[in-house]
């Protein structure tokens, strides 16, 4: 595809009757719904928008409304009406109306009154103090699943206070004492003293109770096991940790979180990780907190996903280790979670980033049951978001719960051969307008390659109204009275979408300052299947 991004015309001033245009939306307010009109989804309605030059949206659209439909709502400020069809009307009847009404002068668009779903917001009282679930887009994932209790995450760490009010409901009750103790006397993995908070904090990130009206929100409501391999001092032997890894895999835990590390390569530890991976477990580990040092073991083993840490601003945490072993990045700076005893606190470290990934893995497996650990690992990689860091810092990108849950595992969002992922070509220009009546015209020579749509976006000053016009296949600049496409919605951000344009045509685009002045950005994007 070839395009010429240079302006095709010099700056020009377009004369317009300011009084007539300004009067259209200068008065009036949003008209309330017809009395008795119910709130909520309205799947039988079509929204029809008119030009702001039209004297009335209702009067403009009414002649085109078929006898079995009626106008049930009008918004004078935005210039649209809602046309309701009987619930037994065919979908084709609505489609025919949408096509026919576009032939009416001053009608700009016709579209279904689609239902917009709210993202899920949990009722946990401390959720507003958190940022980690929001940074990895948990709300989009939670609208689909909060996590399946049939998916188990084993926390190989210090002991977990398993009767903590925000953890108890998600502890795996199929195992005595919700886990095993490998770092002290007896089998109970309960914390020994006041300072043994690490395991409780890590477990609360991965699988603290979400939407239970208690404390903070964990990433998932998956089940959790406590494999106490670190003692109250925070240390543990290679053999204790290796035994805890093997035990967790034998319990059938789909995900193992290891917010621990240190020392060099160990055959014993490597064998334990390889064993767990061969049993179908996905292993996730903290990269280490040596301020840019190399990735620690066990995170550096091939069988383990190494996780680096991000701060709230989605910048790399100063303390995180980096290197070619990093697979994903996740929030680890100042993360709020549960601590002993029945309390909450914020800690920082790659120890906090790792259970975020483990929790997202639990959500993904809850939504896509039957994935092998290899497939789950690839899916988390493919759905991660590139946040502009190097591969040694972010790996495949920042883990994303919404993508991981709501993207099918065989879909790669970045694969140009994926039919659900269109190719895109974008051209952007920047300029400024000096005030009302001033305008720019830009021309582009396009050679389309079976496009599905062309999208023209205009972003201007927040305190101004810049209108957007386009001509398709006509070799002259549009004016405010002669154009093929238009977008003016009382704001500086406008968009025109041209569906299935000719395969070879020119675009002429007018940016017009209806009110105010300042810099603007014009972006033209071709999306082709």
Q: Which of 375, 406, 437 is the last residue of a domain?
A: 406
Claim to verify: residue 57 and residue 206 sit in the same structural domain: no
CA angle 317–170–125, rounded 5-degree value:
65
DSSP sequence for 59-100: HHHGGGS-TT-EEEEEETTTTEEEEEPPTTS-HHHHHHHHHH
Kindly state whether residue 36 falls inside one of the protein's structural domains.
no
Give the side-chain half-sphere CA count within 13 A for 483: 23
Residue 402 lies in a domain: yes
Is residue 259 part of the annotated active site? The answer reads no
Same domain, 389 and 442: no
Q: State the catalytic residue, choosing from 164, 198, 201, 368.
A: 198
Residues 149 and 212 placed together within one structural domain of the fold = yes
If you ran DSSP here, which 8-state letter would residue 469 be given? E
Residue 457 near residue 495, CB atoms below 8 Å = yes
Residues in the chain: 529
**Domain limit, last residue, from 345, 371, 406:** 406
Answer yes or no: pTM beyond 0.95.
no
Domain boundary among 96, 112, 128: 112
Give the residue from 369, 432, 456, 439 showing the smallest Cα distance to 405.
369
State residue 346's pLDDT score: 97
Cβ-Cβ contacts under 8 Å for 460 (sequence gap 6 or more): 433, 466, 492, 493, 511, 518, 519, 520, 521
Residues 97 and 149 in one domain: no
Catalytic residue among 248, 351, 354, 487: 351
pLDDT for residue 21? 22
52 and 177 in a single domain? The answer is no
Contacts for 94 with CB less than 8 Å, ≥ 6 apart:
44, 46, 85, 112
Pair (284, 225) in one structural domain: yes
**CA atoms of 421 and 22, how far apart (whole Å):** 41
The whole domain housing 61 covers: 41-112
Catalytic-residue membership of 351:
yes
Same domain assignment for residues 213 and 293: yes
**What's the CATH number where 90 sits?**
3.30.70.80
pLDDT of residue 411: 65
- What is the token pair recorded at 422? 């269109």
Residues 434 and 515 reside in one and the same domain: yes
Are 88 and 173 contained in the same domain? no
Place of tokens 């886990």: 179
Q: Does a structural domain hold residue 428? A: yes
Q: Write down the catalytic residue from 44, 148, 157, 402.
A: 157
Number of domain units in the chain: 3
Distances (CA, A) of 162 to 8, 144, 159, 208: 69, 27, 8, 11
* CATH number, residue 476: 2.60.120.380
Stretches where the chain sits below pLDDT 50 are 1-36, 416, 419-420
Is 529 known to be catalytic?
A: no
Residues 225 and 364 in one domain: yes
Whole-number Å distance between alpha carbons of 350 and 264: 18
């Amino acid at each position: 595809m070839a395009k010429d991004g240079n302006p095709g015309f010099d700056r020009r001033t377009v004369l317009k009757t300011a009084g007539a245009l300004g009067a259209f939306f200068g008065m009036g307010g949003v008209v309330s719904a017809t009395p008795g009109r119910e709130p909520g989804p309205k799947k039988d309605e079509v929204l029809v928008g008119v030009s702001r030059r039209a004297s009335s949206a209702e009067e403009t659209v009414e002649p085109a409304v078929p006898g079995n439909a009626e106008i049930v709502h009008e918004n004078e400020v935005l210039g649209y009406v809602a046309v309701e069809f009987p619930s037994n009307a065919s979908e084709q009847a609505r489609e025919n109306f949408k096509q026919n009404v576009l032939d009416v002068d001053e009608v700009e668009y016709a579209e279904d009154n689609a239902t917009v779903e709210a993202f899920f917001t949990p009722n946990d009282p401390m959720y507003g103090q958190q940022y980690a679930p929001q940074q990895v887009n948990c709300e989009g994932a939670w609208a689909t699943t909060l996590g399946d209790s049939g998916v188990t995450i084993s926390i190989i760490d210090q002991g977990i206070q398993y009767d903590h009010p925000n953890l108890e409901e998600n502890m795996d009750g199929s195992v005595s004492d919700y886990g095993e103790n490998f770092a002290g006397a007896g089998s109970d993995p309960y914390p020994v003293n006041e300072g043994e908070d690490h395991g409780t904090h890590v477990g609360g990130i991965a699988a603290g109770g979400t939407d239970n009206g208690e404390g903070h929100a964990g990433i998932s409501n998956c089940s959790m096991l406590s494999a106490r391999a670190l003692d109250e001092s925070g240390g543990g032997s290679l053999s204790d940790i290796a035994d805890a890894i093997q035990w967790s895999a034998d319990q059938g835990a789909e995900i193992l979180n290891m917010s621990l590390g240190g020392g060099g390569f160990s055959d014993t530890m490597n064998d334990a990780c390889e064993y767990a991976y061969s049993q179908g477990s996905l292993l996730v580990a903290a990269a280490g907190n040596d301020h840019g040092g190399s990735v620690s073991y066990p995170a550096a083993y091939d069988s383990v996903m190494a996780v680096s840490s991000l701060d709230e601003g989605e910048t790399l945490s100063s303390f995180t280790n980096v290197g070619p072993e990093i697979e994903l990045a996740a929030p680890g700076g100042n993360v709020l979670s549960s601590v002993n005893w029945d309390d909450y606190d914020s800690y920082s470290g790659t120890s906090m980033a790792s259970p975020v990934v483990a929790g997202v893995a639990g959500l993904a497996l809850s939504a896509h049951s039957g994935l092998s650990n290899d497939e789950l690992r690839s899916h988390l990689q493919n759905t991660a978001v590139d946040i502009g860091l190097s591969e040694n810092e972010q790996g495949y990108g920042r883990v994303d719960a919404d993508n991981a849950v709501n993207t099918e595992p065989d879909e790669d969002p970045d694969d140009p051969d994926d039919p659900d992922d269109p190719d895109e070509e974008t051209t952007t220009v920047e300029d400024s307008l000096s005030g009302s009546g001033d305008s720019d015209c830009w021309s582009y020579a396009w050679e389309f390659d079976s496009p599905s749509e062309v999208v023209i976006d205009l972003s201007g000053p927040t305190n101004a109204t810049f209108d957007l016009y386009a001509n398709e296949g006509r070799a002259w600049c549009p004016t405010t009275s002669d154009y093929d496409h238009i977008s003016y919605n009382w704001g500086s951000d406008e968009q025109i979408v041209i569906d299935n344009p000719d395969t070879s045509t020119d675009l002429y685009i007018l940016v017009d300052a209806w009110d105010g002045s300042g810099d603007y950005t014009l972006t033209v994007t071709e999306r082709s299947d």
